Amino acid sequence: MVKQSGLLTGNASDFLKIGVGAAARGDLETLKAVLHLRPAWRSRIGSHGRTMLWEAAYRGRLNVVSYLLDTYDDIDIEARGCHYTPLLVEISPVCAAILKKRTDVVTRLEAAGAKRDVVTQTYLGVFDDVEQMTREDPSLIAREIVQHDPHFDGTLLHYAVAGAHPPIVKLLIERGADVTRYSNHLLDFSLNRNSFAMVEMLLDAGMDVTERTLLKGDIADTAIVTLLQRYGAKIEIDASENGWPSLVYVCRGDRGGNPHAVRELIAQGANVNITNYKGQTALHCAAKAGFVEPVRILLDHGAHVNAQDRDGDTPLHTALKSSIKDQTRLQQVIDLLLQNGADIEMRNRLGRTPSQVKRRKSAVSVRTN
């Protein structure tokens, strides 16, 4: 039995961390307790449109989906949401469930009336349905699909690119989709999906790439780099977008730690000790993420092992503060830093050494022999 007293902290993050978090885990007992205290949360919208129903559908939590649909008759079954990094655009609960192959959840949602509309079919790449729907109603192609991200509203073309479906991209362009107006996000999405075919189609259809400087680290395929440059794109090795130079950016924890990308950028002349807006180098980021091979590559190419960021933390500080689950990888990173001269006595701006900032529950250690 979940105790209701003390369940919520009163912080703004309670909805996503506790309410939506319970839906994501399939923790029905906690979810019920939360909704007893905050009944309006059944339809509350969190970041990027995420609701309890959406999160449960995305995670395949049939028990939560069924409870919400059986208990409340005012839940918007079509309300779109997303986790931005993998999805890029907001999709409906049934689209999320289909995408993640949650067959039992799909069946339950469709039994409750969820529809596979043109947005869903575009994102999932169901060409025949998209062809028929846009032929019967051509206005669908230009119609904007409202996103909770204040920076843009998507069109079907955004969904086709985000879903990585070149045949549907080609179809929509042939039927008059406006490319130039949406150049920035279409460029970002097509580069994110690393699709030469989509980038080429969009460029041929008027995507403007001349108004901004691109980070080389954002572009995995050298053929795409050449293509973009042919259309006038400015691509710089050490350019910084939103405070993140290419080499530092590719070493972030959410970028996967691709050793090839790190080697390529260094081979093309990237400054191995360039910093982001927090004063962190690529080595800080790779160490925090537990990326063993990128750390090794950076050290081999002259990364300053005791570089300090804005808070005075060295890569060893950041590794010891890391919350990643793979403690074995993290220990390998720490050992590499120590083998390459990391100073265990260096203090940050709060006067703390690396050992003094280590997370309490962490199993890693500073082994100097």
Q: Do 254 and 352 sit in the same domain of this protein?
A: yes
Asked if the structure places residue 321 within a domain, the reply is yes
- Residue 242 scores a pLDDT above 60: yes
What DSSP line would sit under 228-239, residue for residue?
A: HHHTT-EEESS-
Q: Which residues contact residue 319 at a Cβ distance below 8 angstroms, ignoring those fewer than 6 apart?
A: 287, 288, 290, 330, 333, 334, 337, 354, 364
The two three-digit tokens of residue 232, written as one number: 């006038």
187, 206, 225 - which closes a domain: 206
Asked if the structure places residue 230 within a domain, the reply is no
CATH of the domain at 321: 1.25.40.20
Q: Do 102 and 144 sit in the same domain of this protein?
A: no
115, 137, 161 - which closes a domain: 115
Query: What is the percentage of the chain residues whose pLDDT exceeds 70?
Result: 97
Asked if the structure places residue 215 within a domain, the reply is no
pLDDT digits (tens, 9 = 90+) for 327-364: 999 999 999 999 999 999 999 999 999 989 987 667 77
pLDDT tier at 2, thresholds 50, 70, 90:
low
pLDDT tier at 222, thresholds 50, 70, 90:
confident
Q: Do 248 and 356 sit in the same domain of this protein?
A: yes
| Average pLDDT of the chain, as a whole number | 94
The two three-digit tokens of residue 289, written as one number: 């993420």
Number of separate domains in the chain: 3
Q: Do 103 and 36 sit in the same domain of this protein?
A: yes
What domain range includes position 104? 1-115
Q: Do 139 and 104 sit in the same domain of this protein?
A: no
Asked if the structure places residue 229 within a domain, the reply is no
Q: Do 90 and 153 sit in the same domain of this protein?
A: no
The two three-digit tokens of residue 153, written as one number: 């509203």
DSSP 3-state of 33: helix
Asked if the structure places residue 225 within a domain, the reply is no
pLDDT digits (tens, 9 = 90+) for 78-99: 999 999 889 999 999 999 999 9
Q: Do 362 and 251 sit in the same domain of this protein?
A: yes
Asked if the structure places residue 236 within a domain, the reply is no
pLDDT digits (tens, 9 = 90+) for 33-88: 999 999 999 999 998 999 999 999 999 999 999 999 999 999 999 999 999 889 99
Q: Do 319 and 337 sit in the same domain of this protein?
A: yes
pLDDT tier at 268, thresholds 50, 70, 90:
confident
pLDDT digits (tens, 9 = 90+) for 175-213: 999 999 999 999 999 999 999 999 999 999 999 999 988
Q: Do 44 and 142 sit in the same domain of this protein?
A: no
55 near 20, Cβ under 8 Å?
yes
The better pLDDT of the pair 269, 135 is held by 135
* pLDDT (0 to 100) of residue 1: 47
* pLDDT (0 to 100) of residue 240: 82
